[in-house]
């Protein structure tokens, strides 16, 4: 069920403290941690603590929580002193989503080409 922790979700396990992560920020509703396979000097994932399978579901079911994720993405960029950065939400396997818990990638610290990927 959306919003409920999922036993088989890696990110839910990080939220619960059962899987280690390099946490850089945490609020009442979000957790931000370093990506284990960084694509740039700054590559941080910002996730809602509540489980939503993707960004589209999160935006529809919990728009205030989606805004919290975006606000924290900005805070990560500010803390890492990024003048330019990218916020990426992959939604669906065809877009590269591999963990079915909504998350924003905050990527920066190097030049980023367009179009991506």
Residues 55-110: tens digit of each pLDDT: 999 999 999 999 999 999 999 999 999 999 999 999 999 999 999 999 999 999 99
Quick one: pLDDT at residue 77? Answer: 98
pLDDT higher than threshold 90 for residue 5: no
Quick one: pLDDT at residue 117? Answer: 64
DSSP, res 104: E
Instruction: Walk across the sheet containing 85-88 and list its strands.
Output: 23-26, 30-34, 42-48, 104-108, 85-88
Q: Which pTM was predicted?
A: 0.94
Residue 105 · residue 87 · CB < 8 Å: yes
pLDDT tens digits along 28-46: 999 999 999 999 999 999 9
Choose, from 43, 51, 101, 103, the residue flagged as catalytic: 103
Based on the residue annotation, tell me whether 43 is a catalytic residue of this protein.
no
């Amino acid at each position: 069920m959306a919003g409920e922790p999922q036993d088989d979700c890696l990110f839910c396990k990080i939220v619960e403290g059962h899987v280690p992560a390099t946490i850089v920020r945490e609020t009442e509703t979000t957790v931000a941690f370093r990506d284990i396979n960084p694509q740039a000097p700054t590559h941080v994932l910002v996730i809602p603590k509540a489980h939503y399978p993707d960004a589209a579901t999160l935006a529809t079911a919990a728009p205030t929580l989606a805004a919290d994720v975006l606000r924290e993405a900005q805070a990560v960029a500010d803390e890492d002193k990024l003048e330019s950065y990218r916020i990426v939400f992959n939604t669906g396997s065809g877009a590269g989503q591999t963990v079915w818990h909504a998350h924003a990638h905050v990527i920066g610290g190097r030049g980023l080409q367009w179009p991506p990927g």
